[in-house]
Structure 1
Amino acid sequence: MKGKILALFLTLILVSCKVNQNKPNDLNYMQNIEKVAIESSAKNSVSTIQAGDQLVIWITAKDMDVVKPFNQNYSSSEMIQTNNTAGGNTPSQGTVTISGPTYIVDANGDIDFPVLGKINTTNKTFTGFKDELRDRMTQYVVNPTVSMRLANFKITVLGEVNRQGDYTISNGQATILNALGLAGDLTIYGKREDVLVIRTENGQVIHGRVNLQDANLINSPYYNLKQGDAIIVSSNNTKDLTAKQNPNTGLILTGISIAVTAVAVVVSLFNKK
C-alpha cells in the first residue's frame, strides 16, 4: 500500500512541475474563418506616397521617341534589384529586377520630373499620382501610359519568428500573413493573439494589435501592410516561464524521480518480507 502511495506521490510531482504547453488549436490562425463576414479590405490597403519612397516611373506611348524626354533620367544600364530576403545570413528567397527612371521623394514630398518640373506627392495615393502624371503629359504626348512601382517597399519582422529581419517586397503589396510567411512563421512561443504593428504615416507613428487566431484580422487596417511597417511578435507565457526556469530544473527533477522510485522499491520489498 505504501508503495502505491509513493508512486502516486511521484506522479503528482512530475505533473505539477511540467511546464504548461499550448493546446494544439492555440497555434492555428483564423480559427473562426467560417463565421466571419469578410468585408472589403481594399480601403485598408490604400497607401499614400511618403518621403523617402523610391518611385520607378516609366512613360510609354505609341511613338517612343516622343516620350524620351520624360524618361531622360534612365539609361539601359540602370536597374534596381529587390529581393524578399531577411537581413543577416538568411538565404535569398527570390530576386526581382526593376528597371526604369527612379525618383526619390524628398522631405517636402516633391519629385523633380523631366519637363514637368517639381511635382508634389503629399497625401496622394499611387493610383491618384499616376492619373495626375498622365493628365499633365497629355499636353505633350498623345495617349501616354504611366507605369509606376515602389522600389523600396520594406517591412521589418521581429520577435518570436524563425527569421527576424528586414524584407523588401518587390511588388509593393503585402499582408501581415505574407510578412510572417517570409519570416518563417511564428515559433511555438509566439503570442498569436497579440501581434503588434508599428506604422509611420505622414510623419506620425501609430500602432495597432492584431489577433492571428481571429479571422476578423482580414478586416483590420493592419492586415494590409504599408511601407516601413514593423511587426513585433511577443513571447507567450510558456516562453516566459521557460526563461525564468532554473536551467538545472531538469536534473533536479530527474534526481527526485530516481530517489522517489528507489524509496518506493525499497518499501515494496520491505512489505513483502
Structure 2
Amino acid sequence: MMKGKTLFVISAFVLFSCKTNPKAHNDLNYMQNIEQVAIEASAKNSNNTIQVGDQLVILVTAKDMDVVKPFNQNYSSSEIVQTNALAGGNTPNQGMVSVSGPTYIVDSKGDVDFPILGKINTTDKTLVEFKNEVRDRMTKFVINPTVSVRLVNFKVTVLGEVNRQGDYTIANGQATIMNALGLAGDLTMYGKRDNVLVIRTENGQVTHGKINLQDANFINSPYYNLRQGDAIIVSANNTKDLTAKQNPNTALYLTGISIAVTAVAVVISLFKK
C-alpha cells in the first residue's frame, strides 16, 4: 500500500511539473480584440517626412532623354543601388531590390543640391511633396518631365526576443511595426507581446512609445507606422526570466524522475504477479 502511495506522489509531481498554462498560449496571440476595434490610423502617420542623412535616388526622364541629361549628371544607366527589402545583415542577398538613378544625400540643413535647380529644401516634406516640387521647378526647362524619387536607406533596428535581430532596410520607405517584426522572423515564445518598445529619433528629438500587440488598438498608435531609424526592442517575458534562473540540469532531473517512476511501476507490477 505504501509503495502505491509513493508511486502516486511521484507521478503527480512529474505531471504537475510538465503541466502547461492555458493562459500562456493565449498570451502568444496578436490582436485578440481585432473585431471590436475601429481602424482610425490617420494618413499623416503613414506619410514619412524626409530626414537629414536620407539617401535619395532621383531620376528625371522625358520623351527626349537628351534634354534631361543635365539633370541626371554623373549618372549612367548601368549604375544600380541595391537595397534589401526582405532581410537584414544575417541573411544577405535575400529579396534584393534594384533601384537605378543618381543618388543624393540630404545635408545637415535638410537641403539637396540638385543639378541646374540648385539647393532644394526637404524639411517637413514627404517624398511625394518633394517630387512634385522638383517636377514643378523643372517645367521651366523641360516639357512634361517625369521625376522619380526613392528613399534607399530607410532602416529600422529590431532587437531583443525576436528570431533574427538586426538592421533592416525597407526598399519603398514605408513599413509598419508588423512588417519589421515579420522581417525579424517574429517574436520568440519568450517575447513580451504586451510591451514592445519603439524608440524614435526625428528632427533631432528622441521619443518613445510602447505597443501592446495583443490589443488591436495599437494600429491607431503613431508608432504603428515606422519612421526612418526607428528601433524596436522586444523584452523578455516572465517565462524567460524564470527559465534563466532555473538550474540548467532541471530537465535532466525531471527525465530521471520519469524513468524512475516507470521503473518502480514495472517492479510493483512484477511483485503483484
TM-score, length-scaled by structure 2: 0.88
> What does residue 130 of structure 2 align with?
129
Is 2:198–2:231's contact at 8 Å kept on the other side of the alignment? yes
Bigger mean CA deviation after superposition, 233-242 or 140-149:
140-149
Paired letter, 1:130: K
- Output the CA distance in 2 between the equivalents of 1:201 and 1:150: 16
Change (3 A) 1:77 1:32: same
Is 2:111–2:120's contact at 8 Å kept on the other side of the alignment? yes
> What does residue 88 of structure 2 align with?
86
Bigger mean CA deviation after superposition, 10-19 or 234-243:
10-19
Is 1:2–1:267's contact at 8 Å kept on the other side of the alignment? no
> What does residue 10 of structure 1 align with?
10
Cα deviation for residue 222 of structure 1 reads 1.3
- Output the CA distance in 2 between the equivalents of 1:254 and 1:67: 74
SS at match of 2:218: helix
Bigger mean CA deviation after superposition, 254-263 or 90-99:
254-263
- Output the CA distance in 1 between the equivalents of 2:119 and 2:42: 33
- Output the CA distance in 2 between the equivalents of 1:264 and 1:116: 88
- Output the CA distance in 2 between the equivalents of 1:262 and 1:249: 20
- Output the CA distance in 1 between the equivalents of 2:144 and 2:62: 7
- Output the CA distance in 2 between the equivalents of 1:75 and 1:32: 52
Cα deviation for residue 24 of structure 1 reads 2.4
Q: Structure 1 residue 251 and structure 2 residue 252: aligned?
A: yes
Is 1:20–1:238's contact at 8 Å kept on the other side of the alignment? no
Is 2:41–2:221's contact at 8 Å kept on the other side of the alignment? no
> What does residue 190 of structure 1 align with?
191
Identity of counterpart residues, as a percentage? Answer: 74
- Output the CA distance in 2 between the equivalents of 1:216 and 1:208: 14
Describe how 1:64-143 pairs up with structure 2 within 5 A: 64-83=65-84, 84-88=86-90, 90-143=91-144
Bigger mean CA deviation after superposition, 46-55 or 254-263:
254-263
Is 1:30–1:212's contact at 8 Å kept on the other side of the alignment? yes
Paired letter, 2:102: P
Paired letter, 2:89: G
Cα deviation for residue 192 of structure 1 reads 1.1
Describe how 1:36-51 pairs up with structure 2 within 5 A: 36-51=37-52
In structure 1, the gaps of 5 or more residues are none
SS at match of 1:23: helix
SS at match of 1:27: coil
- Output the CA distance in 1 between the equivalents of 2:99 and 2:82: 6
CA deviation digits over 1:209-247, x for unaligned, max 9? 111111112111111111111111111111110011011
SS at match of 2:149: strand
Is 2:50–2:122's contact at 8 Å kept on the other side of the alignment? yes
In structure 2, the gaps of 5 or more residues are none
- Output the CA distance in 2 between the equivalents of 1:65 and 1:258: 82
Is 2:50–2:123's contact at 8 Å kept on the other side of the alignment? yes
Is 2:11–2:261's contact at 8 Å kept on the other side of the alignment? no
- Output the CA distance in 2 between the equivalents of 1:267 and 1:212: 52
> What does residue 179 of structure 1 align with?
180
Cα deviation for residue 99 of structure 1 reads 0.6
CA deviation digits over 1:237-270, x for unaligned, max 9? 1111001101122333445566678789999999
Change (3 A) 1:12 1:79: same
Paired letter, 2:122: T
- Output the CA distance in 1 between the equivalents of 2:236 and 2:19: 15
Bigger mean CA deviation after superposition, 160-169 or 63-72:
63-72
TM-score, length-scaled by structure 1: 0.88
Cα deviation for residue 61 of structure 1 reads 2.4
Cα deviation for residue 149 of structure 1 reads 0.6
Bigger mean CA deviation after superposition, 3-12 or 77-86:
3-12
Paired letter, 1:87: G
- Output the CA distance in 1 between the equivalents of 2:153 and 2:159: 19
- Output the CA distance in 2 between the equivalents of 1:129 and 1:155: 22
Cα deviation for residue 92 of structure 1 reads 3.5
> What does residue 240 of structure 2 align with?
239
Paired letter, 1:49: I
